[in-house]
Structure 1
């Protein structure tokens, strides 16, 4: 493995930065401290900084020493609304907020690449460092796009990564073409009529209606999606009632749906709306359905995947390969890749606890590896012809 020596020399600094972010996590569109620290560090290295893109997003621009192509690198900054249970000395100091997906590591990796490139400047073209807010289901990528991200900072290619406790240390995996699912979230509120549990005929029971709704939603994929297409609908919350003998007046269901074909996503959303309308009519209640697509289908440009693997093999050797499995997990870099051709890859580490688990621990030893991968993408691809 060939971590860039200059990056290896400041690896301890990267660990300190990452752990500082970890101690002060912020959820989507509230990354005020994080974005301020990112901007401060970039500016201290001579990177031109623009703040407030898409809310709390930050973009840094660095000119190389000679003409070339513009390479975009992206990292997400937000944490999750969950409690940390690691007992680490640098554990979250914010109750109910935790970097349980490693975005603090992604941010630090991109900062490491920016520092190296700023201190060396021996590359062609321009590097654009994109620090995105609100990846965890709040639409940070779309907010940056709506704020003119690529109109203001055009890129020829775009790359991003995600840490992976599911792969060996420094293993780079990626899948050409469709790689991750598109995703939608839903909130469904059933407004019935409350009554005594002994006299259900006097009410309109939202719990039984909701239970039937759960069953109907499961049948969307089972009976409306081509069996050769991957899709899933999951009801993940069901809230109703407060006493043994009271039929409540309201029930709330929430959940997600995933798909690998945009037509399937549109079909699922349409069926959900019609099912809610039909049940409302049948049971003489009101059902309000808030259904929204939050991520598009992530598709990696095959040519950029080949470029990435070529660069990654120069850093991690045979640990880099285009052999990632198709996943129903989602990532809102999909929306950025719909505008600029690029590639989104996984970087393995020695963590043993899954992402989004309260005991998840990011492995700091991959910080210089990730930073070297990002830096080399700029150095190699900035001088490429296409």
Structure 2
């Protein structure tokens, strides 16, 4: 195993073993900052949030700036009976591959005056808010091309194959509360059971019918109601919803339907439903030039037979906020086959680590092919 391969694997193992959740990627930021500084990057960190930026190459002339983005955060998840930060979405792999590109550039010092590469290590992708924070920090203001990467489940891309673009859908996450009064278990006529109200919301969402040609879904993903006393009918509850749609237009329609359900349920049961938080991710805005560059890079690295077509997936990623907020940005996300199973966000997610160097080499070629 060569030096870069060893370093990439070692980096992955460290980041995997030191996972941190959204907005708490403090040690991860320190680790990457140190790595970037040792590699001669001009490094930027922030005093009000995690995340770190490294600039490598020649930023003093008219070269286009190529950004490479890696998400940093882990999920908070039950693993073997214990809740802990867990990199079951592959962000540890993404960071390792992007650092591997920097290693490849260092290995070819003659390129330093010929490229301008901005390494963007972004926090809080899982919250859907990290990219917007980086946009607010003007991180992509001088960036012309932006490349991302994401491991793909085995059902979407097998080991040794890759897609030049992931056409993610839009998503919205709602947190809300039901506000009513508790009642004695023997007197159900004196209140409205918050659990039954939540069930009514679930039933009504299942009856939403939008354009069947566009994938979409709405489901309740958490609910907390009641306490230790089993003879109290709870009048209060808190719950979360996850909404998905393959494009932004259907997402807008879906949101209107859900908010209409809230209003109807409030009137029917004479309770208050307060929306306490809304977070969301827009659907992908694709760029043909960036996709063509990534396609060429995959073909050169893995062979033309291993270039998969564009991947349409109901999953979401806040990567697409960069292009929504800066429409001139030419961006795409590499989808990397790695035999990932049982699936993304599964607590026991695993993948073929040999794919890490495939990702490094594809992204490295994408940088070179951009110039």
When normalised by structure 1's length, the TM-score is: 0.87
Deviation at 1:291, TM superposition (A): 5.4
| Paired residue secondary structure (1:122) | helix
Structure 1: gaps of 5 or more residues: 1-6, 87-93
Equivalent residue for 1:181, pick from 169, 185, 201: 169
Partner Cα distance (1:148, 1:356) in 2:
30
Compared with structure 1, are the counterparts of its residues 53 and 311 closer, same or farther at alpha carbon in structure 2 (3 Å cutoff)? farther
Q: Which residue of 2 aligns with 1:235?
A: 220
Residue-by-residue CA offset, 1:86-125 (whole Å, 9 max, x unaligned):
9xxxxxxx95111111111110110111122134233333
| Paired residue secondary structure (2:252) | helix
Partner Cα distance (1:184, 1:49) in 2:
33
Partner Cα distance (2:341, 2:246) in 1:
28
Deviation at 1:293, TM superposition (A): 4.1
Partner Cα distance (2:44, 2:230) in 1:
56
Partner Cα distance (1:85, 1:276) in 2:
37
* Aligned 8 A contact 2:168 2:316 in 1: yes
Compared with structure 1, are the counterparts of its residues 60 and 53 closer, same or farther at alpha carbon in structure 2 (3 Å cutoff)? farther
Q: Which residue of 2 aligns with 1:23?
A: 17
Deviation at 1:367, TM superposition (A): 2.0
Compared with structure 1, are the counterparts of its residues 174 and 125 closer, same or farther at alpha carbon in structure 2 (3 Å cutoff)? closer
Structure 2: gaps of 5 or more residues: none
| Paired residue secondary structure (2:239) | strand
Q: Which residue of 2 aligns with 1:370?
A: 359
| Paired residue secondary structure (2:99) | helix
Partner Cα distance (1:352, 1:259) in 2:
24
* Aligned 8 A contact 1:54 1:143 in 2: no
Moved more, 247-256 or 287-296: 287-296
Report how many aligned residue pairs link the two structures. Answer: 362
Deviation at 1:57, TM superposition (A): 1.4
Partner Cα distance (2:56, 2:175) in 1:
43
Q: 2:129 aligned with 1:136, yes or no? A: no
* Aligned 8 A contact 1:62 1:118 in 2: no
Residue-by-residue CA offset, 1:55-108 (whole Å, 9 max, x unaligned):
21111111149863211111111111013459xxxxxxx951111111111101
Equivalent residue for 1:251, pick from 227, 237, 242: 237
Equivalent residue for 2:75, pick from 80, 97, 101: 80
* Aligned 8 A contact 1:173 1:347 in 2: yes
| Paired residue secondary structure (1:29) | coil
Q: Which residue of 1 aligns with 2:197?
A: 209
Compared with structure 1, are the counterparts of its residues 343 and 239 closer, same or farther at alpha carbon in structure 2 (3 Å cutoff)? same
Equivalent residue for 1:170, pick from 160, 185, 203: 160
Partner Cα distance (2:253, 2:153) in 1:
34
Deviation at 1:8, TM superposition (A): 4.2
Compared with structure 1, are the counterparts of its residues 232 and 271 closer, same or farther at alpha carbon in structure 2 (3 Å cutoff)? same
Moved more, 167-176 or 326-335: 167-176
Deviation at 1:175, TM superposition (A): 4.3
Partner Cα distance (2:295, 2:110) in 1:
22
When normalised by structure 2's length, the TM-score is: 0.91
Q: Which runs of 4+ in 1 moved over 3 A?
A: 64-67, 83-86
Deviation at 1:39, TM superposition (A): 0.9
Compared with structure 1, are the counterparts of its residues 235 and 211 closer, same or farther at alpha carbon in structure 2 (3 Å cutoff)? same
